[in-house]
Each structure stands twice: as C-alpha cells, then as structure tokens.
Structure 1
Amino acid sequence: MGFFFLKIMLILMIYLLLMYTFHQGISSWLGVGKRKIFSHDIINIINIINEHHEKADTSHRKIMLSALFSCVIIDVIFDYEHWYQNPYSYMLLLLISGSFLKAYMEWKYVENKRECTYTVLETSFGYGLLLLLLTVGIELVF
C-alpha cells in the first residue's frame, strides 16, 4: 500500500509530461498561438469564442450536470452486466462532445482554421493517452 500513491503520482507525472510535450510540439507545428496548457477550467472565459459559443457551452454544461446527477441515481438503482450499459460511459461521450463543440465553433467563426485542427488533435491525444495510461497503469498500480 505504501507504493500505491507513488505509482499513482508516477502515472500522473507521465501523463502531464506527455501532454506538455504534445502541446508544445503541435502548437509550433501548426503555427497557432500558444494556449494555456490544460486551460479547460470550470469558468473558461478565455476559451469562449463568441456569444453563440457561450450559449451552446452553457446549455452543454447544464446537460452535463443533470446527466452527472442522474448517473449516480441510475447507477444505484440498476445493476449492469456490460460496461456499455453503465451510464458513466455516456458521461465520457458528453465530456468529449464539449471539446468538439469548441472545435466546431472555431471552425465556423475563427479566421485561422488551424485552431480547429489543434483542438481536435489535442482532445483526441489527451483522451487517448488518458485511456491508455489508465488501462496500462491500473495493472502497474495493483
């Protein structure tokens, strides 16, 4: 049990290092302005593109919150045999859809279309790396 938190910190540090390296490399390769790394804060006024994006993002956050609370209730009431029946797997889709909503708004309203490509690549790499580290890292931890 003593090495459990050390291994968790190692996995977290590997994730942060790889995300930072990808962030630096892809932003210089695409020639887009450097963003704040991990700038997906709860209040992300910096990432809002225009009023259409603000309205869509607000409604998306409301859907996410209601889905999160309903997932807890549904998970307590029902028992699931397969992973795809679990409501938390649908929460992952909602998390990813928020980033792709931002990419769509960048594609539609920002002059530099490489911003959209950057958002899609960063989201895909981040969630893919997180999934990989969690699946491989779980076996390293236990």
Structure 2
Amino acid sequence: MRKHLSLALLGLLIWTNAPAYAEESSRDVTLYKNPQCGCCESYASYLRENGFTVTVKPTHELAQLSRMAGIPENFEGCHLSMIDGYVVSGHVPVASVERLLSEQPKIVGITLPGMPQGSPGMSGRKTEPFTTYEIGSQSPRIYAVE
C-alpha cells in the first residue's frame, strides 16, 4: 500500500509541476533530500543564487522516489528536484538546468550521477568534466558535458 501511495504522490508531483509550454518557465524548485545532507542544502543555495525559488523537503525515501522517476540506480544523484515538470537529479550545473527549461524536450529530466567533487554544491576542485544524462529515453544518454 505504501509503495502505491508513493507512486501516486510522485505522479501527482510531476503532473502538478508539468511544463506549461509558455514563453517563460517556472523558477520554482522542490528539492527532495536526505534529512542530514549538507551538500544538498548547498545545491539549493546555488539554485537560489541563480534565480530559482527553492523549497527543500527532507525525506528518507529518496532512492525510491528516484527509481519511481525513472532514474536507474547507477544514475541517481544526491538529491531529486522537481522543476517546471522535470526531474533534475544531483548536482547538475545551472547551465544544463536552464537549457532543459528553455528547450523543453520530451524527456522526464536530467541527472548528474553521484556526488562529483567540485560540482555545484559540492566541495573540492573540479577534476574532470561533469557528464549529465537525460532520463526518459529507452536508456540514459548524454545530455551535456560541462
């Protein structure tokens, strides 16, 4: 029963945040994160600094929400955001988020797997390009390399 409730909740979240296909996309973000994760709070601050309004919602069901959103386990990010009807998983650079909102492709969303050092919200120095994948095709494929 709980699984069905969570599926219904995720479906409702995606439906109520669906792209309006208007000229300007929504700047409202709902970010789901593990309650004790500090880097997720840093990513929320990063989005705010780039003009988004972010609501953070702690959850212990992040992995389940990611799977329900269609993100394969080995492509999951550190947190899950809902932005204008799209799923954005992990520490995705704002340039890719802006591209997603501007182009409005017919995909579920994008993900930057893991917690890459130096990515937005993460400490450390960037040591290699960040590869962001699109979710919603038959299998994840490269969306951007930054």
Q: Structure 1 length as normaliser, TM-score? A: 0.26
Q: Structure 2 length as normaliser, TM-score? A: 0.26
Relative contact order higher in (CA < 8 Å, ≥ 6 apart): 1
Higher strand share: 2
Higher helix share: 1
